[in-house]
Structure 1
Amino acid sequence: MRRFFPLALALLVALPVAADDAAKVVDVSFAAACDGTEQRYVLIEPTAPGVDVLIALHGHGSDRWQFATSDRDEARAARDFARARGMLFVSPDYRAKTSWMGPKAEADLVQIIAELKAARGVRRVFLCGGSMGGTSALTFAALHPDLIDGVAAMNGTANHLEYENFQDAIAESFGGPKSSIPDEYKKRSAEYHPERFTMPVGLTTGGRDELVPPHSVLRLADVLGKIGRPPLLIHREEGGHDTNHADATAILAYVVDRADSRGAQAPGR
């Protein structure tokens, strides 16, 4: 039976957020529709009512608290941006800590979005993440373009068939190694599905990133430009596996502002 934990039963927690962040922080528990397990996400309420949500996906080895509390530039920028724009901020476990947007993580995020729209009146959904989270944001946007109004991916990969790090964790998430189920790895590789990126896209990469090399994201950005859907790509040739606050803010602003522009041109998207 599909069960939901009402928001009223969520646990209110005190978090080490910035002093100027007066928003309410809620740790939400829900029953996953795909397997009945208890799953969680952090929700930070905007100080003013909002109808948009920014969903932030954490990196490998972390969980929902990374983007909700971390001082990393990527996380601070996402929280700062959501607060400045009056957006709900949601940071899900998505099957932490080795998520990689496998089938169960995907199902959880689809469920979270549906419930946010039903219970909170959310109108637009923006997705971001760093590292594994950047990879997963691209994967989810390619799988569910109808659910995402903009995606900002920092230091991720767009090609699971060529990516070689964290293979044990990815195999567990995807249901087997790429040698056994290559179609599943291709399905979750954004580079093979550029036509599905119907929403604005922002990307950051580092030329010296060895943990998640930038090549597949650079190729994806090139193809998106060629098919008339140019992303904002910020590539730092001397950069490593991180994104600074200014660059993270820039790609978030790009996807939301482009979505605003589209909405003004075509109401009711």
Structure 2
Amino acid sequence: MNSCRMILTIFVLKTAIAMSVFAADPVLEQSAPQDFEFIANCDQTRQRYVMILPEAFSNQEPHSVLIALHGHGSDRWQFIKDKRGECQAARDIAQKYHMIYISPDYRARTSWMGPKAEADLIQIINDLKSNYKIKHVFLCGGSMGGSSSLTFAALHPELIAGVAAMNPTANHLEYDKFQTAIQTSFGGTKQEIPHEYKKRSAEYWPEKLTMPLSISVGGQDQLVPPDSARRLSKVLKQLNDNVLLIDRPQQGHATSYEDSVSILEFVIQRTSQKKN
């Protein structure tokens, strides 16, 4: 009986170590996706994100982070497993630049970067910075994830070095899709809390988006129309030259692998030039 208890204790300890958010071993091989759970500071609920470490990772060396935000109806696994262009490009870029790759639920499946999703992402970034040597934090996402990337960067420009948004909206006051989910996320309707919708609309805060920023849109996109993202890009280009808009007039609600790579490469290269 004592032997059985000892085996069980060892198993529990090993499991706890495997589920630890931050690795203790200073040098690791390229990791498989690791699914982590944490307790959200804002409401004490259990939340999750997936992390992939770069090849020959060492927690004694500085690394940048690429955080990928999933679309409406998906969860943290979209940017880990999906073969669509936006997702594959994000994984490939993270590997190319030896980045720590993070894909959070951020209150999946219908986040839209409301207050709780915002708090979760701040917590993840701060925890990463506390436990690793972080150079830059980059943010990307598609559709809802692209919109949420713009929202978070406008709210917390001090935390983000560069943003690549695929098929986003930049104006929640005018956006009229997925309103039930957005109302739940934001805490009310546009009529009830217009200030919250404006606060989370990047188009109203171009002066905060001083980091390198790139956006891809499709002219035939009916799900997340491109007009607000186009307007934001135009204003930002008047303020600085660290902005790239890839506008495909015949494209719908998707960004190709090649265009996704281009907008990610843009923010990484411009950030490197900016810091040098």
Q: TM-score, normalised by structure 2?
A: 0.88
Partner of 2:64: 52
Output the CA distance in 2 between the equivalents of 1:172 and 1:105. 12
Q: Are 1:24 and 1:46, in contact at CA under 8 Å, matched by a contact in 2? A: no
Give the deviation of 1:250 after TM superposition: 0.4
Distance across 1 between alignment mates of 2:258 and 2:16? 34
Segments of structure 1 that go 5 or more residues without pairing to the other structure are 1-5, 13-20, 265-269
> Which among 247, 262, 266 is matched to residue 250 of structure 1?
262
Q: Distance in 2 between matches of 1:57 and 1:68?
A: 10
Range that drifts further, 183-192 or 23-32: 23-32
Q: 2:240 aligns with which of 219, 228, 239?
A: 228
Q: Which one-letter code corresponds to 1:140 in the other structure?
A: F
- Whether contact under 8 Å (1:145, 1:199) holds in the other structure is yes
Question: Where does structure 2 lack aligned partners over 5 or more consecutive residues?
Answer: 1-14, 22-28
Counterparts of 1:25 and 1:173, CA distance in 2: 28
Please tell me whether Structure 1 or Structure 2 has the larger radius of gyration of its CA atoms: 2
Q: In the alignment, which residue of structure 2 is the partner of 1:65?
A: 77
Residue 27 of structure 1 corresponds to: 35
Percent identical: 57
Residue 10, structure 1, aligned to residue 10, structure 2: no
Q: Quick check: 1:194 aligned with 2:206?
A: yes
Q: Post-superposition shift, 1:7?
A: 8.6
- What is the alpha-carbon distance in structure 2 between the residues aligned to residue 189 and residue 8 of structure 1? 41
Indicate the residue corresponding to 2:46 in structure 1. Answer: 38
| Worse-matched range after superposition: 229-238 or 123-132 | 229-238
Alignment partners' CA distance in 2, 1:187 and 1:48: 41
Alignment match of 2:219 (pick from 195, 207, 211): 207
1:262–1:53 CA distance, 2 compared to 1 (3 A): same
What do residues 102-129 of structure 1 show as CA deviations (whole Å, max 9, x unaligned)? 0000000000000001112222100000
RMSD (Å), alpha carbons? 1.7
CA contact (8 A) 2:68 2:140 kept: yes
Match of 1:15 in 2: none
Residue in 2 that maps onto 1:267: none
Counterpart code for 1:237: P
User: CA contact under 8 A between 1:152 and 1:255: conserved in structure 2?
Assistant: yes
1:76 aligned to 55, 78, 88, which one?
A: 88
Contact persistence 1:117–1:123 (CA under 8 A):
no
Distance in 2 between residues matched to 1:34 and 1:150, nearest whole Å: 26
- Matched residues, number: 251
Residue 119 of structure 2 is aligned to residue 107 of structure 1: yes
Residues 8-59 of structure 1: CA deviation (Å, up to 9, x unaligned): 35289xxxxxxxx953321010000000000000000101335100000000
Q: 1: CA distance between counterparts of 2:223 and 2:134?
A: 35
Q: Deviation per CA, 1:127-160, whole angstroms, max 9, x where unpaired?
A: 0000000000000000000000000000010000
Match of 2:169 among 150, 157, 160: 157
What is the CA–CA distance in structure 2 between the aligned matches of 1:155 and 1:7, rounded to whole Å? 39
Work out whether residues 221 and 230 of structure 1, in 8 Å CA contact, stay in contact via their aligned partners in 2: no
Query: What secondary structure sits across from 1:41 in the alignment?
Result: strand
Moved more, 95-104 or 40-49: 40-49
The whole-number CA distance in structure 2 between the counterparts of 1:118 and 1:112 is 10
CA–CA distance in 1 between the matches of 2:19 and 2:31? Answer: 16
Pair 9,38 (structure 1): closer, same or farther in 2 beyond 3 Å:
farther
Alpha-carbon deviations, 1:182-210, whole Å to 9, x = none?
Answer: 00000000000000011000100000000
CA distance in 2, matches of 1:143, 1:165: 22
The answer to whether the aligner puts 1:86 opposite 2:98 as a matched pair is yes
